[in-house]
Amino acid sequence: MKFHKEGNFILLISFLILAGINVTVILLVNLPWLHYLLITAAVILYGLIVQFFRNPTRTSPTDPNYILAPADGKVVVIEETTEQEYLKDARRQISIFMSPLNVHVNRNPVGGEVTYTQYHPGKYLVAWHPKSSTENERNTLVIKAKNGVEVLFRQIAGAMARRIKWYVKPGDEVVSGQEFGFIRFGSRVDVFLPLDAEIKVKIGDKTRGGETVLAEFK
């Protein structure tokens, strides 16, 4: 199992802090049961931190008409809306909620040219809150697919997330399913699709970033 580069510093610091606490307690407190309790708690906590930064290899479908899930998580919204920031037209929105237990690597839903990126500072409402899409810390990206259709998707920080990362910029050519970013801890990703796209998921479905087909261009 590979681990994401965003976790390197946190994993090191977490290990040093947990190890320091345990060593200090073992040296100063002569209570074996407390030693075992703290060591067990430290191992469990560190295991949770480690699993959050896992970066599994994914095999993406190659059909250029497929629009892939940009994140692991659960589909919590499928609705028609108006995208106000960039597209400014009617779109089908699909939102994926990412719990702290999900892989938090974000992947391109389509291949093509990156035409827009814009970071917005903001609040930290819970990621499933309807206003989180417009009021939370977020980063908007747009890719023009090979068929000329632009797909907008948005990384949204949640109540626990405090850092959004993206590694692409306008003008970059990207591949469908390829990693483009990362969000630390619970969060959400919205995707805005053409109204005529054929939706392949339903509310409550679990997604795997870069593998699950959300929709298909018509």
Among residues 95, 133, 176, 187, the one annotated as catalytic is 187
DSSP states along 164-205: EEE---TT-EE-TT-EEEEE-SSEEEEEEE-TTSEE---TT-
DSSP state of 59: -
Whether 157 contacts 151, CB under 8 Å: no
The C-alpha angle with vertex 110 and arms to 104 and 115, in degrees rounded to 5, equals 100
21 in helix, strand or coil? Answer: helix
Q: Is 187 a catalytic residue?
A: yes
Rounded to the nearest 5°, which phi and psi values hold at 125?
A: -65, 160
- Residues carrying an active site annotation: 187
